[in-house]
Amino acid sequence: MLSSYKTLRQQASKEIVIRKSRFIGYGKPVHNEAEAAAFIEEIKKLHWNATHNCSAYVIGERDECQKQSDDGEPSGTAGKPILEVIKHQALKNVVIVVTRYFGGIMLGAGGLIRAYTDGAVAAIEAAGPIVKVLHQEIFVDVDYTWYGKLENELHAGGWKVGGTEFTDRVVITCLPEAQDAGRFTAWMTDVTQGQAIITSGETRYYVEGD
Protein backbone atom coordinates (compact mmCIF):
# COMPACT_ATOMS: atom_id res chain seq x y z
CA MET A 1 0.00 0.00 0.00
CA LEU A 2 1.14 3.54 -0.68
CA SER A 3 2.27 5.52 2.36
CA SER A 4 0.26 8.44 0.99
CA TYR A 5 -1.54 9.61 -2.12
CA LYS A 6 -3.38 12.67 -3.44
CA THR A 7 -7.07 12.45 -4.31
CA LEU A 8 -10.31 14.47 -4.01
CA ARG A 9 -12.20 15.10 -0.79
CA GLN A 10 -15.74 14.87 -2.16
CA GLN A 11 -17.98 15.00 -5.19
CA ALA A 12 -18.47 18.55 -6.40
CA SER A 13 -18.95 20.62 -9.53
CA LYS A 14 -18.26 24.05 -10.95
CA GLU A 15 -19.50 25.78 -14.09
CA ILE A 16 -17.49 28.08 -16.34
CA VAL A 17 -18.54 29.86 -19.55
CA ILE A 18 -16.18 30.11 -22.50
CA ARG A 19 -17.32 32.00 -25.60
CA LYS A 20 -20.99 31.33 -24.75
CA SER A 21 -20.49 27.57 -24.26
CA ARG A 22 -21.24 26.28 -20.77
CA PHE A 23 -18.71 23.83 -19.34
CA ILE A 24 -19.66 22.07 -16.09
CA GLY A 25 -16.82 20.19 -14.45
CA TYR A 26 -17.64 17.34 -12.07
CA GLY A 27 -15.06 15.66 -9.86
CA LYS A 28 -15.42 12.65 -7.58
CA PRO A 29 -13.15 10.29 -5.60
CA VAL A 30 -13.69 6.63 -6.54
CA HIS A 31 -12.25 3.27 -5.53
CA ASN A 32 -12.54 1.30 -8.77
CA GLU A 33 -13.46 1.43 -12.45
CA ALA A 34 -17.04 0.32 -11.79
CA GLU A 35 -17.62 3.37 -9.57
CA ALA A 36 -16.03 5.65 -12.16
CA ALA A 37 -18.14 4.23 -15.00
CA ALA A 38 -21.31 4.52 -12.91
CA PHE A 39 -20.59 8.17 -12.14
CA ILE A 40 -19.98 8.97 -15.80
CA GLU A 41 -23.33 7.38 -16.70
CA GLU A 42 -25.02 9.29 -13.87
CA ILE A 43 -23.79 12.62 -15.27
CA LYS A 44 -24.79 11.60 -18.80
CA LYS A 45 -28.33 10.90 -17.60
CA LEU A 46 -28.43 14.15 -15.65
CA HIS A 47 -27.30 16.10 -18.71
CA TRP A 48 -28.95 13.96 -21.38
CA ASN A 49 -29.52 17.05 -23.53
CA ALA A 50 -25.95 18.35 -23.32
CA THR A 51 -23.81 18.57 -26.44
CA HIS A 52 -21.05 16.44 -24.90
CA ASN A 53 -20.18 14.72 -21.61
CA CYS A 54 -16.43 14.14 -21.80
CA SER A 55 -14.55 12.27 -19.12
CA ALA A 56 -11.39 10.70 -17.77
CA TYR A 57 -10.30 8.77 -14.71
CA VAL A 58 -7.14 7.45 -13.06
CA ILE A 59 -7.34 4.56 -10.59
CA GLY A 60 -4.80 2.36 -8.81
CA GLU A 61 -1.62 2.66 -6.76
CA ARG A 62 0.48 2.87 -9.93
CA ASP A 63 -2.20 4.64 -12.01
CA GLU A 64 -2.71 1.33 -13.79
CA CYS A 65 -6.32 2.08 -14.76
CA GLN A 66 -6.63 5.11 -17.03
CA LYS A 67 -9.43 5.88 -19.45
CA GLN A 68 -10.68 8.93 -21.31
CA SER A 69 -13.55 9.76 -23.65
CA ASP A 70 -14.05 12.62 -26.10
CA ASP A 71 -17.79 11.79 -26.35
CA GLY A 72 -18.07 13.14 -29.87
CA GLU A 73 -15.65 16.04 -29.67
CA PRO A 74 -12.74 15.94 -32.15
CA SER A 75 -10.24 13.24 -31.17
CA GLY A 76 -7.79 14.35 -28.51
CA THR A 77 -9.50 17.66 -27.69
CA ALA A 78 -11.51 16.68 -24.60
CA GLY A 79 -10.84 13.38 -22.84
CA LYS A 80 -7.06 13.61 -23.21
CA PRO A 81 -6.80 17.15 -21.76
CA ILE A 82 -8.96 16.08 -18.80
CA LEU A 83 -6.74 13.04 -18.24
CA GLU A 84 -3.60 15.17 -18.48
CA VAL A 85 -4.91 17.53 -15.79
CA ILE A 86 -5.49 14.57 -13.44
CA LYS A 87 -2.00 13.23 -14.11
CA HIS A 88 -0.33 16.65 -13.89
CA GLN A 89 -1.87 17.18 -10.44
CA ALA A 90 -0.76 13.66 -9.43
CA LEU A 91 -4.29 12.64 -8.42
CA LYS A 92 -5.26 9.01 -7.88
CA ASN A 93 -8.64 7.28 -7.66
CA VAL A 94 -10.58 10.13 -9.23
CA VAL A 95 -13.02 10.60 -12.09
CA ILE A 96 -13.80 13.86 -13.85
CA VAL A 97 -16.63 14.61 -16.25
CA VAL A 98 -16.84 17.90 -18.13
CA THR A 99 -20.27 18.57 -19.61
CA ARG A 100 -20.59 21.02 -22.50
CA TYR A 101 -23.61 22.93 -23.70
CA PHE A 102 -22.66 24.44 -27.07
CA GLY A 103 -23.15 28.20 -27.21
CA GLY A 104 -23.00 28.70 -30.96
CA ILE A 105 -19.35 29.72 -31.35
CA MET A 106 -16.83 27.20 -32.66
CA LEU A 107 -13.72 27.02 -30.48
CA GLY A 108 -11.35 25.11 -32.75
CA ALA A 109 -9.07 22.32 -31.59
CA GLY A 110 -6.82 24.55 -29.48
CA GLY A 111 -9.78 26.30 -27.91
CA LEU A 112 -11.44 23.00 -27.03
CA ILE A 113 -8.27 21.67 -25.40
CA ARG A 114 -7.99 24.82 -23.28
CA ALA A 115 -11.70 24.76 -22.40
CA TYR A 116 -11.74 21.13 -21.27
CA THR A 117 -8.50 21.68 -19.39
CA ASP A 118 -10.10 24.62 -17.57
CA GLY A 119 -13.25 22.57 -16.92
CA ALA A 120 -11.20 19.78 -15.34
CA VAL A 121 -9.24 22.24 -13.19
CA ALA A 122 -12.52 23.82 -12.04
CA ALA A 123 -13.88 20.38 -11.06
CA ILE A 124 -10.77 19.58 -9.04
CA GLU A 125 -10.86 22.93 -7.25
CA ALA A 126 -14.52 22.39 -6.35
CA ALA A 127 -14.00 18.82 -5.12
CA GLY A 128 -10.96 19.79 -3.03
CA PRO A 129 -7.59 18.05 -3.47
CA ILE A 130 -6.44 16.24 -0.32
CA VAL A 131 -3.62 13.93 0.72
CA LYS A 132 -4.49 10.61 2.34
CA VAL A 133 -1.84 9.11 4.61
CA LEU A 134 -1.67 5.45 5.64
CA HIS A 135 -1.91 4.98 9.42
CA GLN A 136 -1.48 1.89 11.60
CA GLU A 137 -3.91 1.20 14.44
CA ILE A 138 -2.02 0.42 17.62
CA PHE A 139 -3.94 -0.43 20.78
CA VAL A 140 -2.26 0.52 24.05
CA ASP A 141 -3.80 -1.31 27.02
CA VAL A 142 -2.75 0.09 30.41
CA ASP A 143 -3.77 0.36 34.01
CA TYR A 144 -5.61 3.56 34.95
CA THR A 145 -2.57 4.86 36.78
CA TRP A 146 -0.84 5.37 33.41
CA TYR A 147 -3.68 7.19 31.63
CA GLY A 148 -2.87 10.79 32.62
CA LYS A 149 0.80 10.42 31.75
CA LEU A 150 0.08 8.78 28.40
CA GLU A 151 -2.50 11.40 27.47
CA ASN A 152 0.08 14.12 28.06
CA GLU A 153 2.89 12.23 26.30
CA LEU A 154 0.75 11.50 23.23
CA HIS A 155 -0.36 15.12 23.00
CA ALA A 156 3.18 16.43 23.45
CA GLY A 157 4.48 14.05 20.80
CA GLY A 158 1.82 15.07 18.30
CA TRP A 159 0.57 11.50 17.90
CA LYS A 160 -2.89 10.96 16.42
CA VAL A 161 -5.38 9.23 18.73
CA GLY A 162 -8.49 7.51 17.40
CA GLY A 163 -10.32 6.99 20.70
CA THR A 164 -10.14 5.67 24.25
CA GLU A 165 -12.08 2.81 25.85
CA PHE A 166 -12.58 2.69 29.61
CA THR A 167 -13.38 -0.64 31.26
CA ASP A 168 -11.42 -2.29 34.05
CA ARG A 169 -8.38 -0.92 32.18
CA VAL A 170 -7.79 1.84 29.62
CA VAL A 171 -7.30 1.02 25.95
CA ILE A 172 -6.08 3.89 23.80
CA THR A 173 -6.33 3.54 20.02
CA CYS A 174 -3.25 5.28 18.63
CA LEU A 175 -2.83 6.05 14.95
CA PRO A 176 0.79 6.68 13.99
CA GLU A 177 1.64 6.84 10.31
CA ALA A 178 2.29 3.30 9.11
CA GLN A 179 5.94 4.09 8.38
CA ASP A 180 6.36 5.21 12.02
CA ALA A 181 4.59 2.23 13.64
CA GLY A 182 7.80 0.53 14.76
CA ARG A 183 9.24 3.70 16.21
CA PHE A 184 5.96 4.46 17.99
CA THR A 185 5.76 0.99 19.54
CA ALA A 186 9.33 1.24 20.82
CA TRP A 187 8.65 4.71 22.22
CA MET A 188 5.41 3.60 23.92
CA THR A 189 7.17 0.59 25.45
CA ASP A 190 9.81 2.91 26.86
CA VAL A 191 7.29 5.48 28.14
CA THR A 192 5.25 2.82 29.97
CA GLN A 193 8.34 1.01 31.18
CA GLY A 194 7.07 -2.14 29.49
CA GLN A 195 3.83 -2.11 31.47
CA ALA A 196 1.52 -1.60 28.47
CA ILE A 197 -0.03 -4.38 26.40
CA ILE A 198 0.56 -3.19 22.83
CA THR A 199 -1.21 -4.80 19.88
CA SER A 200 -1.67 -3.84 16.23
CA GLY A 201 -4.95 -3.45 14.39
CA GLU A 202 -5.80 -2.47 10.84
CA THR A 203 -4.06 -0.06 8.49
CA ARG A 204 -6.26 2.64 7.02
CA TYR A 205 -6.02 5.98 5.27
CA TYR A 206 -6.78 9.28 6.98
CA VAL A 207 -6.85 12.74 5.45
CA GLU A 208 -3.69 14.66 6.21
CA GLY A 209 -4.39 17.48 8.65
CA ASP A 210 -7.83 16.25 9.73
Cα 75 to chain centroid distance, Å, stands at 29
Structural domains of the chain in order of their starting residue, each with its CATH number: 4-127 (3.30.230.30), 132-207 (3.30.70.240)
Residue 201, sorted as left (phi over 0), alpha (psi -120 to 50) or beta, turns out to be beta
Q: Output the CA angle 206-208-210, nearest 5 degrees.
A: 80
Is the distance from CB of 96 to CB of 86 less than 8 angstroms?
yes
pTM over 0.75: yes
Confidence of residue 91 (pLDDT cuts 50, 70, 90): very high
User: Which of 13, 11, 24, 25 lies closest to 93, judged by CA?
Assistant: 11
Confidence of residue 202 (pLDDT cuts 50, 70, 90): very high
pLDDT of residue 106: 84
Residue 170, sorted as left (phi over 0), alpha (psi -120 to 50) or beta, turns out to be beta
User: What does the DSSP 8-state code read for residue 47?
Assistant: T
Which residues contact residue 74 at a Cβ distance below 8 angstroms, ignoring those fewer than 6 apart? Answer: 109, 112
pLDDT tens readout for residues 175-189: 999 999 999 999 999
pLDDT tens readout for residues 131-158: 999 999 999 999 999 999 999 999 999 9
Mean pLDDT of the region 189-207:
95
Q: E strands along 44-128, which residues?
A: 52-59, 65-69, 94-101
pLDDT tens readout for residues 52-65: 999 999 999 999 99
